[in-house]
Amino acid sequence: MLPGAMGSWLVPGLVVLLVMGGYGQEHGPVWLLEPPARLVFSNSTGARVSCAAHGSPPPALAWQLPDGAPLHDVPGLRQVLDNGTLVFPAFPAARYRQDVHGAVYRCRASSAHGAVLSRDMRVLAVYRCRASSAHGAVLLLGPSIEE
């Protein structure tokens, strides 16, 4: 309990905080870091992207496809970490996969108090290729981004 004199000051303040949904109140997830609408990266660098949400209790984070299917790891090409980070390692151009490198993803944050779904994130991995007819010209190849 709060000591008398101090308590008489603090208690009205605490009541205001609780009424306003402040500390101690359980609430559903709210985005702290939503994924970007687009993630473009090179096969030579790879990329990682994170999402983060706050809530009480802390929400669980997961990545999914637009149809709601959860993302699974694709060895060497895509890794889904528990902390909300999605990793696309560097990859040889021959291993390009449309369903991994040219796909749409969403992050989902959920707890017992609800769930929120992020915006769509369009991923586009490009790989460089020297065109033999144009000396030293570098082309970026990859699927076009649908608008």
Ligand X SMILES: *[C@@H]1O[C@H](CO)[C@@H](O)[C@H](O)[C@H]1NC(C)=O
Where do contacts with ligand X occur on this chain (CB under 6 A)? Answer: 43-44, 50, 52, 81, 83-85, 90-93, 127-129
If the CB atoms of residues 22 and 70 are measured against ligand X, the closer one turns out to be 70
- CB environment 117-144: b (16+ within 10 A), e (fewer): ebeebbbbbbbeeeeeeeeeeeeeebee
Instruction: Kindly tell me which of 50 and 56 has the beta carbon lying closer to ligand X.
Output: 50
CB of 93 to ligand X, least distance (A): 3
Rounded-to-integer distance, Cα 70 and Cα 105, Å: 10
Q: Which is nearer to ligand X, 14 or 93 (CB)?
A: 93
CB of 86 to ligand X, least distance (A): 10
Q: Between residues 44 and 98, which has the closer beta carbon with respect to ligand X?
A: 44
Give the residue closest to ligand X by C-beta: 93
Nearer to ligand X, 14 or 42 (CB): 42
Task: State in angstroms the smallest separation of the CB of 51 from ligand X.
Answer: 8
* DSSP assignments along 35-50, one per residue: PPSEEEEETTT-EEEE
- Contact assessment for residue 30 and residue 55, using Cβ atoms and an 8 Å cutoff: yes
CB of 52 to ligand X, least distance (A): 6
Going along 1-147, which residue ranges are E strands?
Answer: 27-33, 38-42, 47-50, 52-56, 60-64, 79-80, 85-88, 104-111, 114-117, 121-130, 138-141
Shortest gap between Cβ of 78 and ligand X (angstroms)? 14
